[in-house]
Structure 1
Amino acid sequence: MGDENDDACTPQVTGTAPMTPKLSRTQSDMSGLGSVQRRRVLTHSSKRALFSSPESALDSDSKRARSLTDESGRRRKPTAFQEAIADSESNSFKENELPPALVPSVMINRSLSSPGPSTPLHAYTPLLPLIKSSKHPDLNVISPSTVEKLLDGTYNDVLHTFHLIDCRFQHEFLGGTLRGARSLALPQHVEAAFFQPQALRASTRTALILFCEFSAERAPKMARHIRNLDRRIHADVYPTLHYPEVYVIDGGYKHCFESVNHDVCLSPAAAYVPMNHPDHVDACKMELSGLRSSWKQLRSTPFSKRHANKWC
């Protein structure tokens, strides 16, 4: 009795909505789920690519041609969209060939400041013989024997002139140096000597030859500074340099003192005073501190501001 009352009170819901089939844990047939799978939507271009044929392509071309003519047979002006489609289809490029708009500017012209076709760059060959250096592969390194030939005049026909730059501290320089060398231990001293307007009027065949005690730190760092500054000044005419001949002596002053002819290469009564000589400890500390401060100031102040009043 109770069951009949429950059936009478409970509304019976009927409908035709598809019911999701139930699968057992061991059942793998998914055929009954076909009605609930997501359909793959193909775009118009995808459908066209799947079912197009050469004949349909010809038909589309004829339809496009008819769309550009009116009923009287006169040609109508194409719309901007139709012109864009026609241009994109007519512009065909060879394999691995870039359209003009996509060609890198470096392939057209290396420098905006030098209009015209770019000229091929050739590897520069230094005028003096070099030796291989594992410590400084980016620098031009020469042997003490080459320095001896420079001082005895062997390379007078090769170079216009050369400058020997002693990057050691003052107590080292006063103890003895190469004949004709200049004491330029700070980067500001080198800039004042070789990068002022009057100095830049010199010949480009002027060689700058740098050395310190071992040519391990001070001279190589100064040589790189000279090259970087020269690059910045002549950035608009790359790869032109005013001082292409920048060299570092292998082994520094110590190697020269031990291997070259003193009468030809060294100053009168020259000796060899190490940087850390016990008699010059305080002087060494003071000059080392000054050198570090100079490089720090150099990084914080641009070259144009350091020499603004000298370039006027």
Structure 2
Amino acid sequence: MSVDAIKHNSVKTEDVLVQGAVVTGDGKEECCLPTVQGHCHDLRYITPATMNHVLNGKYDDTIGSVRILDSRYSYEFEGGHIPGAENIHNKDDILELLKNPKTSRSDGKRDIIIFHCEFSSERGPKMCRFLRNHDRELNAENYPSLYFPELYILKGGYKEFYGSYKTLCTPMDYVPMLSKDHKDDLRHFRSKSKSWYAGQKRLKSSSGRLFY
């Protein structure tokens, strides 16, 4: 377990609403969801309560579509996940999203993506940044336009959501990444992750700074 994950697991701080306007990645509009302070200051975080409101349709007058991208490994996802979530934990799945991006909606509503992993301390944020980085490259000639301007991170990840809304999860369970029943699975996914993260670092260094 990473240092960040250990800290998150042992110390729970109060969620503090971000003060002032928080704009989308293209700078064109204010984010439609209330955001809170998170570990990574360049990312937009929402609370499990806000995620629950999204699932219950509270923001349907503003949101046209929402995709919940669960960046945990497949054995974690199959052990319990947020309703409607998609299990996306490698770069190829992220790149697929960019092959057929949606154009602007005629109804003026938002298409948003919410990332998370077990604690939302590493895998979820890395996936979010990977998508934004490639989105920036594809739209380099039209900066700051983006195919996916509104990205969020679920603060506390699946662990915190499950702690508050376990009856919504499918199945109603929580399998940790470090589950003793999935040691072989963990080794398998970690070996794949090493090559992916190495490639991500090379991409970042060759393309210059990461715009957010």
Same fold (TM over 0.5): yes
Q: TM-score, normalised by structure 1?
A: 0.53
**1:84-121 alpha-carbon deviations (Å, 9 max, x no partner):** xxxxxxxxxxxxxxxxxxxxxxxxxxxxxxxxxxxxx9
Higher relative contact order (CA 8 A, sep 6+): 2
Q: Which whole-Å CA distance do the structure 1 matches of 2:104 and 2:196 have between them?
A: 26
- For residue 188 of structure 1, what is the amino acid of its counterpart? D
- Are the counterparts in 2 of residues 215 and 249 from structure 1 also a CA contact under 8 Å? yes
Question: Which protein is richer in strand relative to its size?
Answer: 2
Structure 1 residue 248: deviation in Å?
A: 0.4
Aligned pair in 2 of structure 1 residues 122, 271: CA closer, same or farther (>3 Å)?
Answer: closer
Select the structure of larger CA radius of gyration.
1
1:215 aligns with 2:117: no
Distance of aligned partners of 1:131 and 1:300 in 2 relative to their CA distance in 1, 3 Å threshold: closer
Deviation at 1:144, TM superposition (A): 0.3
Is 1:266 matched up with 2:175? no
Cross-structure match for 1:174: 78
Q: Cα deviation per residue 1:217-249 (whole Å; 9 max; x = unaligned)?
A: 000011111111111111111111111110000
Partner of 1:6: none
Cα deviation, 1:29-85, whole Å, max 9, x if unaligned, reads: xxxxxxxxxxxxxxxxxxxxxxxxxxxxxxxxxxxxxxxxxxxxxxxxxxxxxxxxx
- One of 84, 92, 98 as aligned partner of 1:195: 98
Give the aligned residue type for 1:141: Y
Aligned to 2:156: 251
Match status 1:132 vs 2:1? no
The 5 A counterparts of 1:35-184 are 124-133=29-38, 135-184=39-88
Identity %: 32
Q: TM-score, normalised by structure 2?
A: 0.77
Number of residue pairs matched by the alignment:
176
Number of the residue aligned with 2:187: 285
CA contact (8 A) 1:205 1:243 kept: no
CA RMSD of aligned residues (A): 2.1
| SS of match in other structure, 1:271 | coil
- The structural deviation recorded for 1:123 is 6.7
* Structure 1: tracts of 5 or more residues without a match: 1-120, 303-312
How far apart are the structure 2 equivalents of 1:122 and 1:231?
Answer: 13
